Each structure stands twice: as C-alpha cells, then as structure tokens.
C-alpha cells in the first residue's frame, strides 16, 4: 500500500496550461500517475498532449472521475483554487504554490479541515508513492519502492535522504513534503498517523527544521500513538537566532524553535536524531537490515 496517492489516484491539475503546471503535470503522467484532466477557466475544450482541459474542477470530477487535485496557480489565486477543489468533492489536494498569503491559508485551512479532505502544502514538493503515483515536483527517478515512510518540511533534504536510501538498497513507501509555510494543510502528526496505519511502512523518517514547535508536538504524539520505529533529522543547527532561513516558517524566537531544542525534545522521547542526512540513512539501514 501507500498513503495519500496511489494507483487509484485520478489527478486533475489546476493550472495545467501554465508552463510549470504543464511541465510537472506531464512528468507526473510519464511516471505513471493517472492524470485525467486539467483546469484553466476559459480554456475548456482544449487539451495538453491529450489531457482534456475544463473550466472548473467540478467538471473534471463529473466527467473524468478526478479524486485528487494538484495546484499550480499564482499565489493570489491559490486559496480560491483550494476552496474550489474541496467544493467539487476532491478528497486529496496538493498545493505546490509558494507565497500564499497566510490569512488566506488560515481561511482555507478552517474550511477543508471540516470536510475531511487531505491537504498537503502549500509551498511543498508534493507526494510520491514510488511505483504507484507522483503528484508534484519530486524527482521520482532517484527514489525506489520500499518500506520507509518519509515526511519532511524540506524538499531538497527529502530528496537527499531518499536517494541515499536507494543507494543503500532501501526504498520508500511514500514521501510527503508537507511544506515550510507557517500554515500548512497537514502537520507531521497528520502524516505520522497515516504511516502508522499503513501496512507497507515499517519505519518512519521525519525531517524537521528550525522554527515553530511542530517537531516537539510530533515527538509527544509518537510516544503515545506510534509503535513503528521513528528516526529524525533537524536542519538548521548553524542558523542564527531571529533569522528566517529558507522557509517562511523557519524563524527562531529567542530559544524557541532551535535545532538543538528540537533534537533534545526528540531524544528525550527515545527518538534517535541523525546529525547529517547521510547518518540518518545509515541509521535506517541499521534498523531494517
């Protein structure tokens, strides 16, 4: 099995006619993802290399059976695109767009959480279930299918750890990039719970970074609800206090949100924390081989 996206995913790409949406939507299809439609208002009746374009997500759901949406629209339209997908009955929404205004994401978050929709992003690389489906911008060719669930706030660190696992003869059940904004659709806890329930996933790797307290919350959740082994990596040990490093959510206030503080919180709960992505991959091998 896998989580969030799999062989049953029927994907509509909101913004498929744009340059980024087209490039990645076609890459997703080439990987084997069932991309059934695109949506661009005013362009219904057109197609992108055989993928039909509709004016609304509701049309794509009705005519093509779309059950997941990938959002590649400008930031000022992204929240509206989330609302539209949810109202159309899509059960999984993955938003790649960055710079979505926080107040708009707060409104969207309040709405889709009441509808039982799984939302990933914004400002994220997407979700990949190797051998099944790729929804987003993750370079699927460097990953292989296996038993390691990987959830991360960072895209590039996810790629590095996953690639190193592949080189060491291990693979992933699903890779989830939750995004680095202050407000995202799914937290570490949301994804950890899905991995806990997934029969394919035998071990979970959580990649965090400075800022906020999501990793500390996840540590408490793991202790109480996760029976599978969990390993972690925290990026940002050299980040100076008060600076935003990379993601909008990666800001330290005083001693709160530091990499060292997160490491200590995780280790206090018995969760081993690697000092480099390479060490994390090696720790996974030790646990599984």
Predicted pLDDT at 235: 80
Predicted pLDDT at 158: 86
User: Among 117-126, 186-195, 203-212, which stretch is predicted with the lowest mean pLDDT?
Assistant: 203-212
Predicted pLDDT at 276: 87
Phi first, then psi: give them for residue 65, nearest 5 degrees.
Answer: 70, 30
Q: What's the mean pLDDT when you consider all of the chain?
A: 91
Examine the pLDDT at 212 and tell me if it is beyond 80: no
- Enter the tokens of residue 76: 């000022």
Q: What is the mean pLDDT of residues 18-36?
A: 98
Neighbour order of strands in the sheet with 126-129? 133-136, 126-129, 172-177, 145-152, 203-209, 230-235, 272-274
Same CATH fold assignment for domains 1-123 and 143-289: yes
User: Among 103-107, 158-162, 222-226, which stretch is predicted with the lowest mean pLDDT?
Assistant: 158-162
Examine the pLDDT at 154 and tell me if it is beyond 90: no
Q: Are strands 51-54 and 47-48 parallel, antiparallel or unpaired?
A: antiparallel
Examine the pLDDT at 208 and tell me if it is beyond 70: yes
Question: 1-123: what fold?
Answer: Rossmann fold (3.40.50)
CA-based angle 259:228:194, to the nearest 5?
85
Q: Any idea where the domains of the chain sit in the sequence?
A: 1-123, 143-289
> CATH for 143-289?
3.40.50.261
Give residue-wise pLDDT tens across range 73-100: 999 999 999 999 999 999 999 999 999 9
247 an active-site residue? Answer: yes
């Amino acid at each position: 099995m896998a989580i969030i996206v799999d062989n049953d995913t029927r994907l509509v790409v909101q913004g498929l006619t744009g340059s980024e949406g087209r490039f990645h939507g076609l890459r997703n299809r080439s990987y084997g993802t069932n991309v059934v439609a695109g949506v661009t208002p005013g362009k219904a009746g057109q197609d992108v290399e055989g993928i039909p374009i509709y004016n609304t997500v509701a049309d794509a759901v009705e005519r093509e059976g779309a059950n997941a949406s990938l959002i590649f629209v400008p930031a000022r339209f992204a929240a509206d695109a989330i609302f539209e997908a949810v109202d159309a009955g899509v059960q999984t929404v993955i938003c790649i767009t960055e710079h979505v205004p926080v107040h708009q994401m707060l409104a969207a978050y309040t709405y889709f959480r009441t509808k039982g929709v799984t939302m990933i992003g914004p400002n994220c690389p997407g979700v990949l279930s190797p051998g099944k489906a790729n929804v987003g911008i993750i370079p699927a060719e460097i990953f292989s299918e296996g038993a390691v669930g990987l959830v991360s706030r960072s895209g590039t660190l996810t790629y590095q750890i996953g690639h190193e696992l592949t080189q060491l003869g291990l693979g992933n059940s699903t890779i989830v990039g939750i995004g680095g904004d202050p407000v995202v659709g799914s937290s570490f806890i949301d994804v950890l719970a899905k991995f806990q329930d997934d029969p394919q996933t035998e071990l979970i790797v959580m990649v965090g970074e400075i800022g906020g307290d999501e990793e500390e919350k996840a540590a408490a959740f793991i202790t109480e609800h996760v029976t599978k082994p969990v390993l972690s990596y925290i990026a940002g040990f050299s980040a100076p206090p008060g600076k935003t490093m990379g993601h909008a959510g990666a800001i330290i206030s005083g001693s709160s949100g530091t990499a060292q503080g997160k490491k200590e919180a995780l280790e206090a709960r018995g969760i081993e924390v690697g000092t480099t992505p390479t060490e994390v991959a090696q720790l996974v091998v030790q646990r599984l081989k």
